[in-house]
Structure 1
Amino acid sequence: MAVLSDEQVDAALPALTGWTRAEGVLRRSIKFPSFMAGIDAVRRVAEHAEAKNHHPDIDIRWRTVTFSLVTHSAGGITENDIAMARDINEMLGT
């Protein structure tokens, strides 16, 4: 899978509510109403990621979960990352 150009990533970002590009990855932090709500969201994303064989980096800080997407094997952001960001937004209703 080819790494997207900066222009391609910039063009995709307006449709990806809450996502930004920082340090070469797509990143989104979401604050949940409780720790367990955040853990449930992580579980749902993890199950989807496993099915797609495309796994985000996930950081959990109490009620705030940060998802980071980059295709490590390609060395940058690919269409798989854009699609996973879209999927995460749909799954979490955000």
Structure 2
Amino acid sequence: MTAQQDLASKQCEPCRGGVPPMDRAMAREYLVQVPGWSILDNPDRLEREFRFADFRQAQDFAMRVGDLCEAEGHHAEIRYGWGHCAVAFWTHKINGLHENDFVMAAKVGGLADAPYTAPAESMGDVSPTARG
């Protein structure tokens, strides 16, 4: 089992605050377990940009990340547009990083590695010519 798989197998534990955020040295040790992610500051947070072939794939990924966050009770900042989706994690109650943020980064990395499956066609034709 890789370090990323090990982190991804963990569940987020509720953070009630009152604990200090992870220091940068510890955060860098965890960072090697979540390839592709970076540590940014103000506040300290993990962030990764994912690339896709089009808007629909980026939107679908953002929705899957949102569903995962809701299931884990640990929510991301998600920004997406045509062909890209940026995901950031930090623990708001401590205004910095916690192990939970790395757990979620590993889980989101696993979502990105999964093959893309188009959403159900129940949305109908939304092309500009269909709006006429």
Alignment TM class, shorter chain as reference? over 0.9
Deviation at 1:5, TM superposition (A): 1.4
Mapping for residues 1-94 of structure 1, pairs under 5 Å: 1=15, 2=19, 3-23=21-41, 24-93=44-113
Q: Which ranges of structure 1 fall in alignment gaps of 5 or more residues?
A: none
Deviation at 1:12, TM superposition (A): 1.0
Q: Partners in 2 of 1:63 and 1:69 — Cα distance?
A: 21
Q: Partners in 2 of 1:88 and 1:7 — Cα distance?
A: 23
Q: TM-score if structure 1 supplies the norm length?
A: 0.93
Higher RCO structure (Cα 8 Å, ≥6 apart): 1
Q: Whose strand fraction is larger, Structure 1's or Structure 2's?
A: 1
Indicate the percent of aligned positions where both proteins have the same amino acid.
26
Question: For the pair shown, which has the larger CA radius of gyration, 1 or 2?
Answer: 2
Output the amino acid matched with 2:99: E
Q: Which ranges of structure 2 fall in alignment gaps of 5 or more residues?
A: 1-14, 115-132
Q: Partners in 2 of 1:14 and 1:81 — Cα distance?
A: 14
CA contact (8 A) 2:59 2:81 kept: no
Task: Give me the CA root mean square deviation.
Answer: 1.3
